[in-house]
Amino acid sequence: MLDRCKVDVAKLEQTRALANATMEDKRLSLSLSRMTVVQGRPRLRDRVTSVLKTEERKIQVRAQSTGTGTHTRDS
């Protein structure tokens, strides 16, 4: 009986291809959503920007104080 069995391989292969494509689509969507969240988080972006500006300002003040010999405190 097993010898005479005809299996619908085309439909099985189609189902497998569809399942693989669905999984790949989900994986890509998840990666894309993670990238969007990291890029678009406003608090993190602003925090990084303000820290950089503060550090830049400190460097400028130190350079000025080293040059003039007076100690200036940052506001």
Partner 1 sequence: MDANSTLQAMLGVGKKYSIDVTDLRVLVLRVITLSVKFVSRDELWTSRFADGFVDWKLVKQLTNKNVLGGCGEWLGMLEFCHWDDLVKSESEIATAYPPLATLRRNMKECSLDTGDSEAWTPVCRALLLLLVQGLPCLSALEMLTCAQFKRNTRTGCVELLAKQVHRLTCSDTPSRSAHR
9 vs 69, beta carbon nearer partner 1: 9
12 vs 59, beta carbon nearer partner 1: 12
The DSSP secondary structure of 10-75, one letter per residue, reads: HHHHHHHHHHHHHHHHHHHHHHHHHHHHHHH-HHHHHHHHHHHHHHHHHHHHHHHHHHH-------
- For residue 11, state whether it binds partner 1 (rule: CB under 8 A): yes
Site for partner 1 in 12-51 (CB under 8 A): 12-13, 15-16, 18-19
10 vs 43, beta carbon nearer partner 1: 10
